[in-house]
Amino acid sequence: MKIRKFFRTSMIPLVLVAILVAPSFGATVLHRNVVDLIELSDVIVVGNVSQVTDGFDQNGVPYTEITMNVNESIRGSQPGTYTFRQFGLLQPRDMGNGTINLNTTLDGWPTYKQDQEVILFLYQAASITGFRTTVGLLQGKFDADGELLANAINNRGLFQNMNVDPQLLSAAEQKLLTSAEGPMNRETFVNFVRKVVEQGWIEAGKVSNAKN
């Protein structure tokens, strides 16, 4: 049986993957703090993953399709049921012609499971495929565990190198922004993100990245 790797071989250069997938792709993933996550996101959504499937688009590009029941759309005015596609299959696929397609989700990219409660900061969709993924890849997907919330790197550096007027913040938010890493209170984080977006704090310069 032949094994087809497509994008994971040198037959198709990485730059093509970048074009097909999303503006987030790169050989090195930059660290993103919460200012970056908000500023670079096209969609910010809170909800529960209701379905995860995979397949191939009309051009034969493999994808994972995530469907969410949206509890809150902080940016992007998404409907109650929101669906998007990310590059890569859930698992290798027997193509039925003696070949296996190994183009699963790329290493370091977020993965999804049914019934997960998540907060996602999503890049703008790719112009060719419409695929999208989270800002900073694993950094832009937060999983809820009861009242706690964390991304795949345990929120490390999420609030570092940023400026914000403490007078704009509640006591809980001020405490949150001093944390170096570890699970955080979900309600406090969502309230902070909501205020930054709805009140245009980044655009007004009230929240910014610190200059080195």
63: domain range? 2-205
Give domain status of residue 19, yes or no.
Answer: yes
E-strand ranges in 60-132 read: 62-75, 81-87, 93-94, 99-101, 117-122
| DSSP SS3 for 21 | helix
Give domain status of residue 38, yes or no.
Answer: yes
The pLDDT tens digits for 119-173 are 999 999 998 899 999 999 999 999 999 999 999 999 999 999 999 999 999 999 9
Give domain status of residue 210, yes or no.
Answer: no
Q: Which of 153, 196, 147, 142 is nearest to 173 (CA)?
A: 196
How buried is 212 (Cβ within 10 angstroms: 0-12 exposed, 13-18 middle, 19+ buried)? Answer: exposed
Instruction: Give yes or no for a contact between 113 and 96, defined as CB atoms under 8 angstroms apart.
Output: no
Report the C-alpha dihedral over residues 204, 207, 208, 209, rounded to 10 degrees: -170
Give domain status of residue 36, yes or no.
Answer: yes
pLDDT for the residue numbered 23: 55
* The total number of structural domains that make up the chain: 1
Q: What angle do CA 140, 146, 151 make, to 5 degrees?
A: 20
What one-letter code names the amino acid at 3?
A: I
- Categorize the per-residue pLDDT at 47 as very low, low, confident or very high, splitting at 50, 70 and 90: very high
pLDDT for the residue numbered 20: 52
- pLDDT of 195 > 70? The answer is yes
The share of the chain scoring above pLDDT 70, in percent, equals 86
Give domain status of residue 73, yes or no.
Answer: yes
Give domain status of residue 29, yes or no.
Answer: yes
